[in-house]
Structure 1
């Protein structure tokens, strides 16, 4: 008994002493702050975090590589799911599936966004209502796929599927600065998925009209397309041929001919001739109402090929600013046309001449800041070497006849050099140190006016003394600059904010024969673009020849980046 009592007192003293020691230590040292306990993540978030830390992710038979944007999105929200809540799919998940299924109407490929796998998982989730563990796995996988689809789809709507700079080193138009992650965060917060996606699409009416054309042509394809017309003699008004029946059907399907009961189905009549003319006009052909080899070739292009062409040009619109300025000039080099646009409507239109296929006009935008009347032409070295130098060697008086001066350098204040003091027979492009400048006059290729929008390509709009070239259907004759059909009308338009500059005054200044620079009171954006498909304000669809081969380059690039190709 005594021993037990002794052990008790020894233990009690030890506890008292150690308790005091702890209190003294805590009193001496700094207070230790309480550490808040980290809230436990839900099972779904834990599973999602685990998946994102073990890349690639396998979903069924599919190997999935999440993008950095996807990882950033989930990390920002502490790995919470975005498309379901407590195992139940949110409405926006079904809305996104519908949007992805309809992405083909935007010229995109639904399977690029894994739509079939998403629909398969949706079916599995409904089947596994009673199996919570398996359902959780499917819900997390579905969330990953939906997020991936949204981020990729929104990126394609904002920037396009291809970076244009990767396929065209002349591309020089600024990208839209939009972060798809921020867009998705906005969707999750506001629950406005349909509205947000619609806001990402280009606002240009031209893009929307292309989308309508795509839907129209897809409908034609779904019904079997249009018939092919076999080769044979030229078809024209008065021709009697079995192929006329097929031709009439073909033009009815493309909307060039209204259906009517012909007196003789095999006879090429006046309504059919009008339809052929309309078709030729829409395809950049010589408009003569005759179905010759060129027209027959265009007629026999399959509808599927035209659908692909529409898609390529919708992609090009996605490379441009979402909203264009209220007033701008657009040159479509593929159609050889200039459009002056105000509030989405073309208020002036004219023909242009663009660069040759091997000297093509670049794609870029800049602001027109001044025009020059009676301009000089500083002859580029490449043109001097290829075209001017051989003429000088053949004719020592060539420079004098063409009013071309030789200057000692490219400096603005360079002195003039006597051309007869130069041994032209020994001159080459490499050893030629001078500058050639053609004075204003009837043979100056810049004509009476040039329109300047400074850019790295030294490309501009200008008049031309060779007006006859505007009568050609294909007008790719320049060295890259753009010749305009109606320079006086265009000059009057761009100077409308400069008081007093009407046609009468322009002609008066031009007739003085002196070079005059006029700064624009209001600069005008200029877009030099390339569209081989165009839908005008009346809904007519135009297809143009791919003069620079850019369609095939873009098509091949899209095939390389598309998982569904």
Structure 2
């Protein structure tokens, strides 16, 4: 009887409103709101348990869902008398737009969630309680997909050992009650590089939609192009760079002029090669990488960004190494204060993706030779030459082998330590010529620094007891000298094959360890 009384009251209210004047409608609309019964669905632990029995693929969200409903007095979150609240429709639209985030929208029960929002709810056969629970699970699915990415087990399987970001569902779920969007960039929920790559994704997808760029046909006898040369290939290069925005105007000229050379050099600097005054076959090969492949690279690196805690980049001072870029940066108070080229591990002895805390700088270091090198190189050398150790400046040390300090030491004149189980550190090297190459994966796993002296000066600049002159003396003393840093410095060794720099330019780097393919496969299969 109460239900029918309520319905009768609603009918009477709407009849009165329709008969009154415009001025009276405003007043009676308040009455209508007061008379309309507030929707109160009971969604307790029993109904939640029944829901996950019916929809087991969502079970991982169960505890978070129970907590969320308890916070809302075990009542609905997404429904009112009119149906799904506006914020629920916003969530569904964001879910359907996951492709803009480089992701596929594959909610496990898409056939159940879609009818709730599409076709005016005509095909939704779920109960109101299950409808509300299904939307809540969509919320957690969307949040995990967008903000966390693949779980830690998957990222570790991809050899990513940097600390993972912890997704704070408590903060995210607050947005439900505030009815605010959960993808608000201003809240800085993500590593800032993510948003820059997302903008790049939009740009490259627009290029793809317009047909992308044509393959440059250079012919088998092609050698290089220099300033003043005239060939049809020049026109193709000019068009290619115009499509990607690397050159502002396409004159369609087949003569290689200074404008084209400048544009190509700029392209080279953003694609991992040293700018030259000629256009080589290598440069053209880089230009011929299809836009679809560039898009996959961007998407893979957006996923890596999801794994990084945005607090990392807020540190007062830290060192970062990007393996595919072969570069080291010192960042202080948000500014890059030092840059150096580096050599990283070979494909067989990869530099590990991880982090540590630098605590010591060692001048004129010994090199403690790893057992693997003793077995593979030193013992065979000794078998052939009884003076092998002396000629290599090596000595036995308590059953192990170490190389004496000096300019020919494999670690050079200084090393930088951040204790870790991988036995990886930064160091100088006598093999300076390797830094001149574009691809610099030659080490046994440690990171060789092109400017070690300058790095030591930069890291010790706030210690008055270590002047540049004293650092020079210690580096050439021929005697090992350990220096403890007054404050430990975080070191992050990462792996990004594309990166938007601080000037806003998108850079692509060679996938030196072939890590992109497996990640892209996971993303496209999801």
TM-score tier (shorter) = 0.7 to 0.9
Cα distance in structure 2, aligned partners of 1:51 and 1:269:
70
2:206 maps to 219
2:489 maps to 524
Shift of 1:179: 4.3
1:429 maps to none
> Does the 8 Å CA contact 2:52/2:59 hold for their aligned counterparts?
no
Superposition RMSD in Å:
2.9
Matched, 1:90 2:85: yes
Cα distance in structure 1, aligned partners of 2:145 and 2:137:
12
Shift of 1:45: 4.3
Cα distance in structure 2, aligned partners of 1:247 and 1:43:
65
Matched, 1:68 2:65: no
| Residue from 327, 337, 342 that aligns with 2:317 | 327
1:187 maps to 175
Cα distance in structure 1, aligned partners of 2:128 and 2:490:
49
Q: Which has the larger radius of gyration?
A: 1
2:374 maps to 384
> Does the 8 Å CA contact 2:51/2:130 hold for their aligned counterparts?
no
Do the aligned partners of residues 516 and 154 (structure 1) sit closer, same or farther apart at CA in structure 2, a change above 3 Å counting?
same
Cα distance in structure 1, aligned partners of 2:125 and 2:308:
42
Map 1:265-280; keep pairs closer than 5 Å: 265-280=253-268
Shift of 1:340: 1.0
Matched, 1:505 2:505: no
Cα distance in structure 2, aligned partners of 1:81 and 1:136:
17
2:285 maps to 297
Do the aligned partners of residues 47 and 169 (structure 1) sit closer, same or farther apart at CA in structure 2, a change above 3 Å counting?
closer
Cα distance in structure 1, aligned partners of 2:183 and 2:268:
40
Query: For residues 529-556 of structure 1, what are the alpha-carbon distances to aligned partners after superposition, in whole Å with 9 as ceiling and x for unaligned?
Result: 1111011111111111111111112222
> Does the 8 Å CA contact 2:319/2:490 hold for their aligned counterparts?
yes
2:271 maps to 283
> Does the 8 Å CA contact 1:234/1:290 hold for their aligned counterparts?
no
| Residue from 506, 511, 518 that aligns with 1:553 | 518
1:359 maps to 349
| Residue from 77, 91, 103 that aligns with 2:69 | 77
> Does the 8 Å CA contact 1:227/1:250 hold for their aligned counterparts?
yes
Do the aligned partners of residues 210 and 113 (structure 1) sit closer, same or farther apart at CA in structure 2, a change above 3 Å counting?
farther
Cα distance in structure 2, aligned partners of 1:115 and 1:99:
14
Map 1:342-353; keep pairs closer than 5 Å: 342-353=332-343
Do the aligned partners of residues 259 and 48 (structure 1) sit closer, same or farther apart at CA in structure 2, a change above 3 Å counting?
farther
Query: For residues 469-502 of structure 1, what are the alpha-carbon distances to aligned partners after superposition, in whole Å with 9 as ceiling and x for unaligned?
Result: 1101111110000010111111111113322312
1:9 maps to none
Cα distance in structure 1, aligned partners of 2:520 and 2:316:
32
> Does the 8 Å CA contact 2:216/2:236 hold for their aligned counterparts?
yes
Do the aligned partners of residues 398 and 75 (structure 1) sit closer, same or farther apart at CA in structure 2, a change above 3 Å counting?
closer
| Residue from 104, 112, 131 that aligns with 1:109 | 104
Shift of 1:142: 4.6
Relative to the length of structure 1, the TM-score reads: 0.78
Matched, 1:160 2:152: no
Number of matched residues?
Answer: 481
| Residue from 116, 120, 128 that aligns with 1:121 | 116
Do the aligned partners of residues 116 and 247 (structure 1) sit closer, same or farther apart at CA in structure 2, a change above 3 Å counting?
farther
User: What SS is found at the alignment partner of 2:118?
Assistant: helix
Cα distance in structure 2, aligned partners of 1:169 and 1:108:
18
Cα distance in structure 2, aligned partners of 1:267 and 1:124:
59
Task: List runs of 5+ in structure 2 lacking aligned partners.
Answer: 1-37
